[in-house]
Structures are given as structure tokens and as C-alpha cells.
């Protein structure tokens, strides 16, 4: 049971452990909204769902939590919220140790976990009122106003009196988001908020997340599709079979892709020789185009060397792999989902 | 449907507001209980159960009215039920005792099994449990509210049985000073007071079954499985209690003391019997309450 309410809520973050990306880029504070230390979950079945996860979600960021289905994202989110207990490791939400501080910190955290789930016999409004009645920090006097505001925010006010049973999947999803907006939040965790939505619904949810984030709320949004969150995220964490295979800003992820130099020329052999001499790796020559990993070489150096060596350079480019390519490279190509 | 709610409401999701503070413990708990009871009593399935509970005394009273000539004190067997049967013909108030006795073997346990089996497993089954806990509801807090709601529902069911039986009894049979099972006659007002005690005793018995039900409900995500398990347990206990070879363990069976309320209908009241019963209920409530608590506060919610 929680005894001290307001005592440790505002204590500074414990030695914000080495942010892999850019700690202070967002607004200055090195405080993180979510920190996990070696978080591990082995289910009783023996399945290792999450394996030594070190996750850092900087405050004020929109963190895209990516990975294929079954990679451990939902188990991680359940552990973050104290629904599932970690086998080992620890984590903090808003600088409060979980799950011990759940009663203190969770009122400041809104969440959508693995799809919406409400009472089918109740209306959307009654469902939100029920959620509000559960919250020991909620003021019953303002419930109506807050429920109305939350419904309006997700565009469900017109369907407020309709039974949940009669809601479309998109409406259900939006109601779940509305539930996470009933109170002022500092962190909102959305697990696959666009799952099962049509493209228009996906766009609406994206716009909503963007709007929430502009209020300064940290958003942790999980998805198995990079494309769905790419446009709104500042940071990404990529999971694969229970492990974090990449974490950092979106720029860092882009930069991670090995850039190549690509030369269009009528003398591919000669060009390849120059590139070899410069020490570039993975040289490929395909119909009139020679490419290689550029490595540490500046493109301007490569270009000058080519010209000085007398190679007719008809075109010069330094393409980078798309985020999608990188994502697939990180998470694996096919159906290698374990479990 | 007025979609245009005129007064502009503050947008709630915003960082940097005052951190939310718990508004005491009791008031939010009561608010959650009210919400829980609203959900419970508004569910059509539960309303149907209560309707059945009201209907059975009506059927019973009508059947007796037809079978027994009014005023006739024809002696019947020597079991508890038979004693009641004779009494009902003489005094309508006894229809309430008879109804509670009969319904305590199956119908009331079924009612309690449904609401207690549903309590946690039902929320887990629909997935609402994860949302309640993420609010956060607090696991121990939610468990206590769930249990109290089950007990309130059991009390409501027992009161409805008594009320329905009283109304039917008054309508179909003579009513007057109550002759107790021990032969003493007490005024009607005292008879009704004793009926209230019987209702409370039966509720205590059902509260015990509710604790068992809550523990079973915390073990599964399938409410039907929980309800079935609770019923099987209740009926097995009643059956075992009637097998002479089990006499040694009889007093420890959950259902052994359920019908001991007939002590209340004697003069003087046999308090040893009653206190044994209440002690048995208390012990079961503590044991199964602890099991439910241990399980529910440590379980992974994966539904």
C-alpha cells in the first residue's frame, strides 16, 4: 500500500543511466519518462519474452517502440504498467520505481494496452465514467466535464450515448485513447493504437498523438509498422525477439545505415580501381553504375579522386538506405517470430 | 441528443499540472464500490437471478396453499423441512424460513457462485481488468471492493427471498404470533426480528461461499469455469455432509453450518451452534480471502 503520497514524486531522476542517443536534446532535462534496467520476463511456460531490456524514453519525446509481432513489446508495456511482474531487472516511470510506486505514478500515466477493452453493455460515456470511478485521484465533481472533454478530443461526442457493443473498431480504439486522456498526464503509453484501423483512422490517431505531444506530454507508442509512426516520432527503440536491437533518435537510426557512394560512368572498371585505392568496401558494378560503402571517406574526396584519375563521372550520388530497409534489417526479414 | 455541449471544458491532457493526489482512502473506495454495484445490479443476467429468487417463494407459497387446507395442522415427517411445512400452514411468516431453507441448498449458492465467479474472471475475460489496474485501481483495493459487492449482492438476494416470502405468506396464510420450533409462542414483531437474524446468518453463510468464489475467480480468465467450479464445490460439500461415513470431517465442510439458523427459531436460542457456524464462516472467509489476495496481488495480468 502506498503511504507517502507526495513525498518522493518530484525527486530528481537517479543518475539517468547512459542515454544511448541524445539525452539532453529534448528541452534540456536529462530526466527520462521511462527507464528500464535489464528488464527481463520469463513466463512460467519458460518462454523468454523480454531479455535484459535497457530502455530510455526521454521526457517530452515521442518514442516509437517498434518490433515485429511477438517481439516482446506488449509484455514490456505490461511490465512498465505493473500488470506483469518482471522476472529480473527494474524500471522507473517518471522517476518513480515501479511497481512499488504504482499508486503514486500511474495516475499521471495514460495507457492503451493491447487493444481496447470495455464493458460492452455500457455506452462510451458510461465506460469512461466507470474508468474514472476507479481512479482514487479523480474528482467526482468534474467527471462529467472531463469525460465530455475526452470524448470531444477523440471525436466521439456524437456517439457518447451509443453502446460500446455497437462501436466500430476505430471508435473503440478512439474510446481507449479517450480513457487515457481523462486526467492530465505526463506520459501516455499507447500499445498498437493504430492496429486494425483503416488508413484514415490511422491518420486520425497519428494526428491525435502529434497533438498530445505538442502539449509537452511524453508519448510511448508501439507499432509493428515503422511507416505508421515514422512521421511522428522523435526517438525509436527497436525490439527483436525480446531484445532491444536499436535505440536512439530517428536521425541516429538514419545515420546508422551505411551510406554508399554511387558513380554513374562509362568506365566502370577504372572507377572501381579508384574506389579500391581509396579503401572503400563492398564495391559493386552494375550496368554503368559502380557503388561502394563510403565509410569514413568524404564524398567530395571520392569525387575529386575519380575526376583526377580521369574517370568520366556522369553522375555522383551518396544514397542511404530507407528507414524501412534499416528496420527490416534490424528486425529480420520473414516470419522469424519466436514463440 | 444534444451534441453541442456549450460550456467550454478544459482540455485535460496537459503536462505540468499539479500532480494528482489521492483523495483520501474511504471516499474513492466507496465511489468504486458504487460503480461496482451499479455494474452488478444493472446487468440483465444478475437481474434475472434476482427475479428467480423472488419467484421461488411465490411458487412455493402457492403450491402449499393448494396442498394444505387452511388452518389444518396435519403433522408431517420429522425433518427440519417437514417441521417448517406444518408451521407455514399455521403462520405465513414461516414461508420465509421455509423458502430460505430450501433455497439455501441450491439457488442461493448458485446466485453467489455467478456473481463471485464472474467478479475477477469476468473482468479478465473481457480485458477490462488490465485497464482497471492501469488506472490504477490498486489490486488489493479492487479485490476488497469486488468482495464487498459480492456480499452486498448476496444480502440483497436473501432479503428479497424473505420479503417475497413474507408478502406471499401474509397474502395466502394466517398471520399472527409466531410459534417457534421449540413450541414457545412469541409476538409477531419478535418473529420478524428473528427472521432478520436468519437473513443475516444466511448472508454470512453466502459471504463465505463468496470468498471461496472470489479465490477461484482469481485463478482463471474463464468466468463460466469459475462459476462451475464454485457450484461443484458447494454441492459436493452438501453431499459429503449427508454421508454418514464423512461424519468426522462434517463440521469442517463449508456447507455444514449453513442450515444451523434453525437455532434462531428456538427458545432459548442455541448460541453454541450459531457461534460454531459463524466461526466456520469467518475461518473460511479469512483462508480464501488470503488465497484470493495472495494470488491476485502477485498474478501477471496477461488477459
Task: Indicate which of B1, B136, B298 best probes the interface with A, i.e. most A CBs within 10 Å of its own CB.
Answer: B136
Of the partner residues B5, B130, B132, the one whose CB lies closest to the CB of residue A134: B132
Note whether residue A299 is domain-resident.
Answer: yes
pLDDT at residue B68 in the model: 64
**pLDDT < 70 stretches in chain B:** 1-19, 68-85
Rounded Cα–Cα distance for residues A209 and A225 (Å): 16
Note whether residue A13 is domain-resident.
Answer: no
**How many domains is chain A partitioned into structurally?**
2
**Do residues A220 and A283 both lie within one domain?**
no
Note whether residue B16 is domain-resident.
Answer: no
Note whether residue B3 is domain-resident.
Answer: no
Angle CA A221–B129–A79, to nearest 5: 45
Q: Would you call A113 and B14 a contact, using CB atoms and an 8 Å cutoff?
A: no
pLDDT at residue A29 in the model: 38
Choose between A275 and A149: higher pLDDT. A149
CATH number for position A299: 3.30.70.100
Q: Would you call A158 and B3 a contact, using CB atoms and an 8 Å cutoff?
A: yes
pLDDT at residue B69 in the model: 55
Residue A188 host element (H or E): strand A187-191
Note whether residue A14 is domain-resident.
Answer: no
Q: For the segment A71-110, what is each residue's pLDDT rounded down to a tens digit?
A: 899 999 999 999 999 999 999 999 999 989 999 999 999 9
Q: Would you call A150 and B14 a contact, using CB atoms and an 8 Å cutoff?
A: no
B180-to-A134, A204, A279, B163, B202 alpha-carbon distances in Å = 47, 72, 108, 19, 18
Q: Would you call A133 and B35 a contact, using CB atoms and an 8 Å cutoff?
A: yes
Residue at which a domain ends, from A255, A280, A309: A255
pLDDT at residue B82 in the model: 61
Residue A73 host element (H or E): helix A73-80
Note whether residue B302 is domain-resident.
Answer: no
pLDDT at residue A298 in the model: 80
Residue found by looking up cell 471544458 in the block? B9
Note whether residue A215 is domain-resident.
Answer: yes
Residue of A178, A196, A197, A198 lying closest to A188 (CA atoms)? A178
Note whether residue B22 is domain-resident.
Answer: no
In chain B, the residue whose alpha carbon lies closest to the alpha carbon of A82 is B134
CATH number for position A234: 3.40.50.300
Average pLDDT score over residue span A118-136: 95
**Do residues A224 and A263 both lie within one domain?**
no
pLDDT at residue B6 in the model: 41
pLDDT at residue A4 in the model: 37
**Do residues A247 and A280 both lie within one domain?**
no
State the DSSP string of chain B: ------SPPPP---TTSPPP----SHHHHHHHHHHHHHHHHH-HHHHHHHHHHHHHHHHHHHHHHHHSPTT------SSHHHHHHHHHHH-TTHHHHHHHHHHTTTHHHHHHHHHHHHHHHHHHHHTHHHHHHHTT--HHHHHHHHHHHHHHHHHHHHHHHHHHHHHHHHHHS---SEEPTTS-EE-HHHHHHHHHHHHHHHHHHHHHHHHHHHHHHTT-S-HHHHHHHHHHHHHHHHHHHT-GGGTTTGGGSTTTTGGGGGGGGSSS--HHHHHHHHHHHHHHHHHHHHHHHHHHTT-----
Rounded Cα–Cα distance for residues B29 and B35 (Å): 10
Q: For the segment A254-275, what is each residue's pLDDT rounded down to a tens digit?
A: 777 777 788 888 888 888 888 8
pLDDT at residue B130 in the model: 95
Look at the pTM and tell me if it is higher than 0.90.
Answer: no
Note whether residue A335 is domain-resident.
Answer: no
- In the beta sheet, which residues pair with residue A292? A261
The separation between CA A280 and the C-alpha centre of its own chain, rounded to angstroms, equals: 34
Q: Quick check: B34 contacting A, CB < 8 Å? A: yes
Note whether residue A2 is domain-resident.
Answer: no
Mean pLDDT across chain A, nearest whole number?
A: 83
Residue A213: domain span: 29-255
Note whether residue A9 is domain-resident.
Answer: no
Tell me the chain B residues in contact with residue A148 when contact means C-beta distances shorter than 8 Å: 5, 9
**Do residues A194 and A277 both lie within one domain?**
no
**Do residues A241 and A277 both lie within one domain?**
no
pLDDT at residue B283 in the model: 96
**Do residues A126 and A249 both lie within one domain?**
yes
pLDDT at residue A73 in the model: 92
pLDDT at residue B17 in the model: 53
Tell me the chain A residues in contact with residue B135 when contact means C-beta distances shorter than 8 Å: 106-107, 131, 134-135
Residue B128: domain span: 27-296
Amino acid at each position: 500500500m502506498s503511504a507517502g503520497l507526495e513525498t518522493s514524486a518530484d525527486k530528481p531522476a537517479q543518475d539517468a543511466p547512459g542515454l544511448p542517443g541524445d539525452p539532453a536534446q529534448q528541452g534540456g532535462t536529462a530526466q527520462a519518462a521511462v527507464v528500464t534496467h535489464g528488464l527481463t520476463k520469463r513466463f512460467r511456460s519458460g518462454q523468454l519474452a523480454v531479455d535484459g531490456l535497457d530502455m530510455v524514453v526521454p521526457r517530452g519525446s515521442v518514442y516509437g517502440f517498434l518490433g515485429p509481432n511477438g517481439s516482446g513489446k506488449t509484455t514490456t508495456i505490461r511490465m512498465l504498467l505493473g500488470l506483469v511482474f518482471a522476472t529480473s531487472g527494474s524500471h522507473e516511470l517518471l522517476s518513480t520505481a515501479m511497481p512499488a510506486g504504482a499508486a503514486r505514478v500511474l495516475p499521471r500515466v495514460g495507457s492503451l494496452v493491447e487493444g481496447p477493452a470495455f464493458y460492452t453493455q455500457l455506452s462510451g460515456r458510461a465506460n469512461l465514467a466507470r474508468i474514472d470511478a476507479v481512479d482514487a485521484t479523480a474528482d467526482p465533481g468534474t467527471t462529467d466535464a472531463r469525460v465530455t472533454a475526452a470524448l470531444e478530443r477523440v471525436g466521439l461526442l456524437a456517439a457518447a450515448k451509443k453502446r460500446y457493443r455497437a462501436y466500430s473498431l476505430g471508435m473503440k480504439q478512439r474510446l481507449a485513447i479517450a480513457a487515457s486522456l481523462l486526467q492530465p498526464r505526463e506520459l501516455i503509453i499507447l500499445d498498437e493504437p493504430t492496429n486494425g484501423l483503416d488508413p484514415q483512422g490511422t491518420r486520425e490517431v497519428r494526428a491525435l498523438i502529434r497533438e498530445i505531444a505538442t502539449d509537452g506530454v511524453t508519448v510511448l507508442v508501439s507499432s509493428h509498422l515503422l511507416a505508421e509512426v515514422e512521421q511522428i516520432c522523435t526517438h525509436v527503440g527497436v525490439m527483436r525477439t525480446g531484445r532491444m536491437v536499436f535505440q536512439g533518435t530517428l536521425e541516429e537510426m538514419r545515420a546508422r545505415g551505411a551510406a554508399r557512394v554511387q558513380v554513374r560512368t562509362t568506365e566502370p572498371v577504372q572507377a572501381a580501381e579508384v574506389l579500391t585505392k581509396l579503401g572503400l568496401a563492398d564495391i559493386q558494378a552494375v550496368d554503368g553504375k559502380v557503388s561502394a560503402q563510403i565509410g569514413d571517406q568524404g564524398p567530395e574526396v571520392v569525387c575529386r579522386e575519380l575526376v583526377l584519375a580521369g574517370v568520366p563521372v556522369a553522375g555522383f550520388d551518396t544514397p542511404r538506405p530507407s528507414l524501412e530497409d534499416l528496420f527490416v534489417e534490424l528486425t529480420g526479414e520473414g516470419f522469424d517470430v519466436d514463440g | 441528443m444534444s451534441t453541442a455541449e456549450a460550456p467550454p471544458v478544459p482540455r485535460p491532457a496537459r503536462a505540468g499540472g499539479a500532480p494528482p493526489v489521492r483523495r483520501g482512502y474511504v471516499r474513492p473506495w466507496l465511489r468504486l464500490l458504487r460503480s461496482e454495484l451499479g455494474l452488478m445490479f444493472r446487468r440483465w443476467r444478475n437481474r434475472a437471478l434476482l427475479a428467480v429468487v423472488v419467484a421461488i417463494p411465490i411458487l412455493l407459497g402457492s403450491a402449499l396453499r393448494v396442498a394444505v387446507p387452511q388452518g389444518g395442522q396435519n403433522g408431517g415427517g420429522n425433518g427440519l423441512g417437514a417441521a417448517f411445512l406444518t408451521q407455514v400452514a399455521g403462520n405465513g411468516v414461516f414461508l420465509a424460513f421455509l423458502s430460505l431453507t430450501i433455497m439455501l441448498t441450491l439457488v442461493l449458492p448458485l446466485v453467489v457462485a455467478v456473481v463471485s465467479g464472474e467478479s475477477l474472471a469476468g473482468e479478465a475475460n473481457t480485458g477490462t481488468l488490465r485497464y482497471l489496474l492501469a488506472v490504477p485501481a490498486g489490486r488489493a483495493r479492487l479485490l476488497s471492493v469486488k468482495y464487498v459487492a459480492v456480499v452486498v449482492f448476496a444480502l440483497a438476494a436473501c432479503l428479497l427471498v424473505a420479503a417475497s416470502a413474507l408478502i406471499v405468506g401474509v397474502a395466502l396464510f394466517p398471520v399472527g404470533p409466531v410459534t417457534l420450533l421449540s413450541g414457545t409462542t412469541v409476538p409477531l414483531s419478535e418473529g420478524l426480528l428473528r427472521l432478520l437474524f436468519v437473513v443475516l446468518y444466511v448472508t454470512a453463510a453466502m459471504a463465505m461461499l463468496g470468498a471461496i468464489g472470489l479465490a477461484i475467480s482469481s485463478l482463471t480468465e474463464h468466468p463460466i469455469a469459475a462459476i462451475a467450479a464454485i457450484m461443484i464445490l458447494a454441492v459436493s460439500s452438501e453431499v459429503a455432509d449427508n454421508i454418514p461415513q464423512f461424519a468426522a470431517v462434517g463440521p469442517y465442510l463449508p456447507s455444514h453450518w449453513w442450515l444451523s439458523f434453525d437455532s434462531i427459531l428456538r427458545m432459548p436460542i442455541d448460541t453454541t451452534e450459531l457461534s460454531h457456524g459463524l466461526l466456520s464462516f469467518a475461518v473460511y472467509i479469512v483462508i480464501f480471502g488470503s488465497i484470493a489476495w495472495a494470488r491476485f496481488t502477485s498474478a501477471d495480468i496477461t488477459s
